[in-house]
Structure 1
Amino acid sequence: MMPKSKEFISSSESDSDSDQPKQKKLKVEKKVKKESKKEEKKETSSSSKGPGGEHMFQLSKMRFATVSEFRGNVMVGIREFYDAGGELRPGKKGISLTKEQWTRLKEQIDEIDDAVKEFS
């Protein structure tokens, strides 16, 4: 009758016995490392693709900056999203900037940042 568990293997095979648990442990460690790398990638990757193919950058829980194309024009948006049955959908609250408006905003970032600091 063969033992059902490796625990019942005789002590004369102790070398293989000690190797096997280490191998199992390595598999678990590899799995944990793989999962943590996925999490790191999520944290370091600032952009994801939205349902419409737009690039989405999360600003807070349900607020995103997006880069998309609308009627042949590149648009930068800041919008609140809502959960529609497990799918993110854009809400009414938000603004879309043309490429030119986005450029103007970027040119004024330092002055806007200084104004914010006055209130902080």
Structure 2
Amino acid sequence: MPKSKEFISSSESDSDNDQPKQKKKKVEKKEKKEKTESKKEEKSSSSKGPGGEYMFQLSKMRFATVSQFRGNVMVGIREFYDAGGELKPGKKGISLSKDQWKKLKEHIDEIDDAVKDLS
């Protein structure tokens, strides 16, 4: 018949088996914190694409890019596809000139409000 909690001494409840669990939890919390920090770094950092453009990952295969086309700076949002281990731009996307980009930034607060309103 199992012992009730009344008969278990305090030395048994603070056994060595409990201590590694606590240490493991601390390690897990530390690992989670490191993973979160590395995700933040990934989101905030850019990489150089094959054409020399700056690439900012938005989702798995969607990127915001800053590049030059015929001497003009362009900001793009585009889906990419994997072509034998190399990322290539797909058909779905848009490129904005510097003027269009500035205009979009002017409306960003209004766009945020509309998103909140519809959410």
**Which TM-score applies when normalising by structure 2?**
0.65
Aligned AA (1:40): S
Q: 2:108 aligns to what?
A: 109
The separation in 2 between residues aligned to 1:102 and 1:117, in whole angstroms, is 22
Partner of 1:52: helix, strand, or coil?
A: coil
Q: 2:91 aligns to what?
A: 92
The separation in 1 between residues aligned to 2:69 and 2:75, in whole angstroms, is 10
Q: Does the CA contact (< 8 Å) of 2:79 and 2:90 recur in 1?
A: yes
Q: Does the CA contact (< 8 Å) of 2:43 and 2:56 recur in 1?
A: no
| Structure 2 gaps, min length 5 | 1-33
Q: 2:6 aligns to what?
A: none
The separation in 1 between residues aligned to 2:44 and 2:76, in whole angstroms, is 19
What is the number of equivalent residue pairs in this alignment? 83
Partner of 2:56: helix, strand, or coil?
A: strand
1:61-100 pair list within 5 angstroms: 61-100=60-99
The separation in 1 between residues aligned to 2:68 and 2:111, in whole angstroms, is 27
Q: Give the % identical residues.
A: 83
The separation in 2 between residues aligned to 1:77 and 1:44, in whole angstroms, is 17
- The Cα of 1:44 is off from its aligned counterpart by 5.9
**Which TM-score applies when normalising by structure 1?**
0.65
1:22-43, CA deviations, whole angstroms, 9 ceiling, x for partnerless residues?
Answer: xxxxxxxxxxxxxx8xx93962
Aligned AA (2:38): E
| Structure 1 gaps, min length 5 | 1-35
Aligned AA (1:115): A
Q: 2:58 aligns to what?
A: 59
1:63-89, CA deviations, whole angstroms, 9 ceiling, x for partnerless residues?
Answer: 000000000000000000000000000
Q: 2:38 aligns to what?
A: 40
Aligned AA (1:111): E
